[in-house]
Amino acid sequence: MYTVSFIALPQCLATSISLPLEMLHAADHYHRSHNRSRQTLQVNIVSTEGESITTAGGLQLLASCKLGDVKHSDLIILPSLWRNPLKTLRKQPQLLSWLQQMASQDATICAVGTSSCLLAEAGLLDGKPATTHWYFCEQFQRQYPKVNLKPRYLITQADNLYCAGSVNSVADLMVHLIERNFGPEIAHLVEGQFSPEIRRSFSSHAYDEYASNLHQDELIIQAQEWLQHHALEDISISELASSLGLSMRTFNRRFKQATTVTASDYLQNLRVNAAKELLRTSNLSIAEVAEQSGYHDSSYFCSRFKKLTGQTPLAYRKSVRGKLFQVSV
């Protein structure tokens, strides 16, 4: 069971809770439909005393439990706060100590927009990178000089602590977290449902304290970096394994253990992402997109693309271009 706790705070932005919540529910639905398993997602809407709260837009959120009832959570989402976050922060001493406790248990904690102040106030961001809503960057830097603020980044990561600078960027972050916990195929399906036309990959605009690799297997990190640089070429994974001094069996085992996917799936994911960029931004034919994305067989490319995204390349191109702004001349 994957447990997620959404912290409901007065005057928070409802979308900073509802958007990641709906994306996670979609991921869980796809997971169950693919694996014929029971629900694996447990969601808590948590307020300090279990009370309902009023969001900035006037919506009422009903809490399912109070803060003290939650002894464990795999993922915690802190919502963005409207206006000056310090007013809310001063009323949440219990939340700060709870966050410290959850962080000590290695929970993944995501702060959306100005709620990064809660992590900073709890001392969890001292000496670590963070970001916040652009309007409060200067105030944040004055208030928390020990934090390594990265105002040019919309997402930061330091171990299990994430900051997303806006509600829009939390969608990018959720796709990344869904990929980590449900796999790349489900992440692509969720992305296609929610924001295929605007999303940028997590790695393209996130500041990661330890680069993009969340494991310590140096040989597999080398393999990932090599694949990222040569994904569009005609390459052999068996030759890559051999160059690292590993048998194919050992390489596959270590790669999946470190990244949760096989090297072949990792390569396909890189190629499909490259193809999506070409479909969004170029007028190349589908066959030409396939060729430039590392596929010599356009039929195989189309089948792989549909498997990972839930759409054919042509349908994907139509969907993303149909939502782009056009200027009449």
pTM of the model: 0.69
pLDDT at 187 over 90: no
Lowest mean pLDDT of 84-88, 233-237, 245-249, name the range.
84-88
Higher confidence at residue 115 or residue 84?
115
End-to-end CA distance of the chain: 54
The span from the CA of 272 to the CA of 312, in Å, is 11
- CA distance readout (Å), 93 to 8, 97, 100, 125, 215: 15, 7, 11, 17, 34
| Domains of the chain, first to last | 2-208 (3.40.50.880), 213-321 (1.10.10.60)
Q: Residue 249: exposed, middle, or buried by beta-carbon count in 10 A (0-12, 13-18, 19+)?
A: exposed
Percent of the chain with pLDDT over 90: 57
Q: What is the pLDDT of residues 237-289, one digit of tens each?
A: 999 999 999 999 999 999 998 888 899 999 999 999 899 888 888 889 999 99
Q: Which three-class secondary structure string do you get for 163-191?
A: EECCHHHHHHHHHHHHHHHHCHHHHHHHH
User: Given this model, what pLDDT does residue 4 score?
Assistant: 97
- DSSP one-letter code for 135: G
Beta bridge partners of 55: none
- Kindly indicate the confidence band of residue 89, based on its pLDDT and cuts at 50, 70 and 90: confident
The pLDDT confidence band at residue 325, using thresholds 50, 70 and 90, is very low
Can you read off the two tokens belonging to residue 295? Answer: 């596929």
C-alpha distance from residue 277 to each of 85, 131, 143, 196, 281 (Å): 37, 27, 40, 11, 6
Digit-coded pLDDT (tens) for 107-159: 999 999 999 999 999 999 999 999 999 889 999 999 999 999 998 888 999 88
